[in-house]
Structure 1
Amino acid sequence: MPVRVTLINDDEITTRGVAAMLLEHPDKIELVSLAGPTLTPIDVALYDHTTNEPGVGPSLAELVADARIRKVVVFTWSFQPWRAADFLRRGASAYLSKRLTSRELVDAIRRVDADRVLVSAGGPSGGRYGHPAENGESLTEREAQVLSLISNGLANNEIAEKLMLSINSVKSYIRSCYRKINVDSRTQAVLWGLGHGLGHPSADDDIDDRESAAEAAWPAGASARVRLVR
């Protein structure tokens, strides 16, 4: 089944633009409307908090509490990395920039639907290795690579495949990263990585490899339709 996605608090031009982007991936996304009763749960709601005038449209808290919606993603032009932690604490499953390409957006939506925590500004940005961690120790290059991939939403098995490591080696690097940056959860590691320049794919990152890995995990026989329900 395709991921059912709805847009919240967006103007008509943006809605049409995002719809056109998602229409490029008809086997993966179904764009639907939240207006009126719906019997089928919505997998991901893309919510722009910057267009939410007081008393107009639902708030983030209302969307998170809405039983029809599985995941709420803050999706905005006004991407400010330091606000990510606040949105995640308030129940958002991801914080995404509208500068993402259509492929990046679809990939992000699918990762969120698969219960990943994701923060992404989009666009090429080189990761910075050897950052001093919270306890004064520096991350090794390999630790920084692993942390960068965690910050981009990859699962342990995907990291192992990408870096040609065993799954046990990946887990060992993750434990070492957690100790050095003084965190105890994947969400905290994502936010630390984003704040230290490790949260975006580098310009030479092989996006096709990430897309292929996502394709392999996509259910066979998924619907090849995208519907805009009004």
Structure 2
Amino acid sequence: MSATPIRVAVVNDYELVVMGVAAILTRFPDQVTVVELDSGMNPEAEVDLVLYDSFAQGQGAALDVASLVGQTDAKVVVYSWNTQPELVQQSLDAGASGYVSKSVSGEDLVKQLALICAGDTIVPPDEDCDGAVGRWPGDEHGLSPREAEVLALICQGLSNDDICNRAFLSINTVKTYVRTLYRKIDVDSRTQAVLWGIDHGFRPDRSRVRLDDRAGATEV
């Protein structure tokens, strides 16, 4: 365990997702310090780890580690519901230093971050994961994490086939999520779903917030 708190930047295109992950980490101030929150932007502060939430993001071979770390020596840790071994290996091959499943508790998340920071390579077991960890757009409307991710990708203009590739889901699974999320938000078409999504937090954000214990939060 590190003698001083690990400095972490949390990265995802959706501010709600980033804030949800930060809320988990801030419960462990003796072990982790959340230095920066980035939505649609890359970290600039000096940190030990970049925690990359994969919600509606590029994953696996599409992971751009160099862009995420910028000029720092930070390690990138992928935080994801997708734990297929081939996807995990692609992420490691792309330069990630570790991969943590969203099924873990906050306490275990912090423990795994500490191990990765110390030089261990942590990977999750291959298991289905659709847990309710953190926050995501649409959760207050009853959308599951996976349904919300599919809707976010629809709002980004992706086809069902594109969503399969981005979210590492089968086409039948994507179609099932589309049907269930349509029912939950009471729409009948892709256009209606996009319009609903735009009005309910599914437009990607662009913000950078640096956290300073002395001065509070500073938005850049």
- Return the structure number with greater strand share: 2
Structure with higher Rg: it is 1
Q: Tell me the TM-score normalized by structure 1.
A: 0.46
Q: Tell me the TM-score normalized by structure 2.
A: 0.48
